[in-house]
Structure 1
Amino acid sequence: IYSILTICYVLFCFTDIKTFLLYNKINGLCLEASIAQSVRTATCNQDNESQKFRWITDHQLMSVKLKLCLGVPLKKDQAMVTLYPCNQKSELQWWECRNESLLAIRGEDLYFSPGNEEHDNVLLKKQLSVKNTWKIYGTVEVLCSQGYEEIFTLLGNSFGAPCVFPFMYEQQWWVECTAVGRADGCLWCATTADYDTDQRYGLCPSTDKDSTWTTDLSTNVHYQINSDSALTWHQARKSCQQQNAELLSVTDIHEQTYLQELTEGTDSALWIGLNRLDLSSGWEWIGGRPFQYLNWAPGSPSPASGKLCVVLNPETKAKWQNCECDEKLGYICKKRNFTLVPSGILCQKLNGWCCEKGRVPKDVFSLFLSLEPTDKLWIGLNDRKIQMYFEWSDGTPVTYTKWHLGEPSTTNNRPEDCVLIKGQNGYWADHVCERKAGYICKRKATSQIAGEKEITAAGCKKGWKRYGTYCYFIGHVPATFSEANTTCEVEEGYLATVESRLYDDFYRYEQAYLTSLVGLRPEKHFWLGLSDVQDQGTFSWANGEAVSFTHWDAGMPGNNPGCVAMRTGIAAGLWDVLDCETKQKYICKQWAKGATVPPFPTTALIPTCPEGWASNNHRSSCFKCFCRPEIRKKTWFEARDFCRQIGGDLVTIDTKEEIPLLIQAIRATHCMFETVWLGIFSLNPGEGFAWSDGSPVSILTFH
């Protein structure tokens, strides 16, 4: 293969192959496979190659030493686990995680279980016990935290397809990228299991800048055009990230002109980072760049609900069009001359404004708190100077945008050149400048008098801060979840809750307020009062309040039981599920002295449902399953739109008690053996699961 491509010099593969030792906490031993016929437990030794394993697909575990996969001869109780040549099609090698720490053969309640004594072979066992629990040795991580991540290739002849490990090359198995067979030193991998037969390959991603990148010398920004690849938007983004880059963002006219020249001669559309994957807001760039420059092709963006991702189309002079995110297309990566900030480190700041995606600049936060739900107020952003290029009226660089759903909606036949901030969530919309509306002025603050003492918030103890009718305190000594909750109770408070849809405007931004308290602190997490320790899979507040709001981090809440903490840094405000015994700082909350307790909401009446609809007394709502023949089945977006057109939404599940009612409704419409859409989704790469109607995600029952 080395005669085909000679455009790169020696690269260093970006991929950190995730090898690990499987540790059984009960017997204190690790999994070991010294020969194919024996998979047993033994004393843990991180230097022992026989104890190293890795995921090679979503469901296959491979021995690094023997390059063989864990499997069984048949799906049966007491079947012996041994090693077999890796075969992606063999269901006898398909493993799946249960509750993060359990490993079961896919589709069966047969668990990966150690023998009774050291050196006994591992078996499949039907009986579930604590002995079936596995973790990653030397860490607090559960087994399934080290999941498989596809490595997308570049160039080659596989259209960007991911590496397949292990692969056969010159009658030898390879378990990672290699430079063998290439005169130029480039690392490569096969994209099928047998390179000798199929001859399919690609180059492995690198964090170095090589000759696959083109540099704009005037800005020193690097671009990579992958026109021969065929990936979905999410796959394309992952490929860029594996090179320490991001999908293209375009923030000014110079950059757009440069890209038009760079893509000239390319005859296919290319993914860029513009998207509307946050279904509650407008268009935004992945990676957090402000959406201030617009370059839509005529007729774009399409209003179709499923077209949430954007391409740059060289055939329309590099203008933009929105498409469904699962189309297979080429893509453009963009890299600047700095290292991406690792998770947990504070985001870079420009002019004192945090520029990370979705994070509100701190001096704008207090403005959001004062908005009324019906407010529509002018702010300084406009494109009056240069059409389709929004700037601040005082010349301040645009580092942050927060567009409303469907915005900005500037069109050539109805220029909307000025921007309003709207409603209680503070989203923005462009509008005709001649409209009469209120407005917001901004000026530099007067300096605090030297030596002036900090005023204690009215109704709060010293050291506590007031927002609305509550006081808040940041615990300075790390504690377990239980210890933190006890400390708050001693102070006549409780671990903080986050409320939504409550009884007056004070609570509209409680989540944002808490983010402002801890978001820029160096610690990674702060305990909130939410957990599922009392009922695994169902999250509840420690003080007994109803869960009315959630704001999960990417991949959360998952199936791992635990307690909830708020993130800081670049993911400030998002919620993670942690082991309750880890020690974190925390946020306490209590009523402010003299504050009026709001009235409790009245109990909702049992709904009267139309014929054919099932009554859901837990939510005062009705639901119905719609079965369709194959030609009339709908995508998730089509199904959601259909439900909304008839005055509802896709079904939401808030409690375990609702599940039997849902099953009953499915049976009543003869949908029992059909796959049906629910309202839960996780489209935004930076956030976790959410319900399409905005309900909190307090229960997950994934299998």
Structure 2
Amino acid sequence: MDITVHSQSLYTYNISCPDGWQKALNNCYLFNVKDQLNWNEARTECSLRNADLMVIGNKQERDWIAIQTESYNTDEWWIGLRYMTKWTWVQYGGNTRYITWRNEPDNYDEQDCCAINEYGLFSDEYCKSKLGFICSYPLKRGDFCPSGDNSPWFMTDSACYFISPLLNISLHLSWQDAKTYCANLSPSKSSQLMSVTTYDNMLSLKSLLSTYDTAGVLLPWWTGLNDQSVEGKYVWIDNTEANGTLLQWDVAPSLDRSQNRNCGVMYQGGSIDDVTCDKRAHYVCEMSAMQGHLNLGCGSWLRGGKSCYLLGKGKEYTWQQASQKCSSAGAHLLQIDDLDEKAWIEGLSLGPSGYWTGLARAQNKYGWAWPDQSTGNDTFIKWSQEPNNSGGIEDCVAINKQGLYVDKRCDAKTGYICEYAKAYDQPCMPGWTQCEQSCYYASPSNWSYAITWYEAEQKCMDLVAGKSLSAYRLAVNDKTEQACILKTLAAQPNGGMDGYWTDLNDLQFKGIWRYWLESNNEPNNDLITWAREPNNAGGNENCGVIYNQGYFNDADCSVGYYYICERPVAGAGVNIKVSTILLMSLSVLTAIL
């Protein structure tokens, strides 16, 4: 993936959750059943991921959580509710009205911590009990949508939309004028004529425009869709090629250039038509509603230069304990190696308390050393009238809110900063697995993710929407790929037993199985191992599903299964200015802390 981002455009590129987390209801959730911990330990594990134990703020969230917990092999999960004179949430936004107690709470013998079971019922438990746990953190939308009577913007989960007033005829504009009008509405926030890049975009727009339904009247709104450069090649305002599977054409677009029908309008039901660009019509402007979060390969940690960072918040630790916390996360305590990193750390809003760094008394007791035993260079360390080695036992070093270093007793307790190196040239995005020159994504094995064969194609495209990449349903083309897919299936929680859609089908010619995507090879019978199939039960099993051990089955294309997407490995890496990374990390930090 080759991306160049300029410091002037710190706007949303991709809002996503780290690998292993689920995105829902504008939050990221981690369901951990591998580690059975007490309540305090569980909260600490969440803090290692820049998160906290989950809180429940509304009925929709409660119901969604109840469905998810049914899919895991554990009795109960810790959540972020604890009794402290009254039941109190650990994060802002929790609401105890949506707690459905299971014959509880009885507060028997100081059962002061709350857990949720697989049926979505809650109980008070001993805080020292060992349970699984659910972490969460919000994906902040911020106040990016203008508000007020004179700013009729509508906010969806990820975008702001401005719908031009219908009754003001002076605001019926040509396509070019509408484009200019949208760009000037909020230039600092990159407003523009609307586009449709994901299935969710289309649903949001159809929902908003449906409120203007008038019997027998089609109202046209300008979109950013146009083929003014190349006849028949439709692009959006930013020249991103339009995804044809998302466009619901009212009538197939004209290929006759003499008709000058080069700009696209959308009607109330979401259908699109190509018309002349000088036509006067309504228009819809859009901009992102999300705070800037560029996924740079650090998951919920902060990207800064060549490393990923975590500011350990919440409970304080000794230097040794903090070092162990970082180590358990595959990292080490902060180590400053260059002036860029020094400037970034000093620019963070560290708060009133100090944070442990990896700097400690050298093994020979002369001078200071970092975790890799390299000598502490005073060029990168700004001491605060220190070190003074008060009492002769201050052998560990913390950094305070001014970016100044102080030597402290190693058994003193404070926050900590973890760090680990992370190269930019990761060819596969988080959550994808690489084999040879392809990346693969297996959907979570949870029946809420079961979709039809047709929907699977759209899901694969949505996964890489806006990244100038393409993705599609799985096609097994050679032995190496087959081995990789077997390994991927075996790694799924269900072992691949419930089936995943592939691109294989016989929709064009009954009994002749081919891949839908023409660029794939003809199916190789040595690679397509049918499990006493295909049998075309019911006469409509036309799409191919793959199971554990690589066995294939024909299935009804409209039935729900999981799915596996694949795409080519991206380009030579990510090219992003360091100054931009630092500023982005600061904006993400503000959203998290």
TM-score, structure 1 length as denominator? Answer: 0.26
Q: Which protein has the bigger helix share? A: 2
Return the structure number with greater relative CO, CA threshold 8 A, min gap 6. 2
TM-score, structure 2 length as denominator? Answer: 0.30
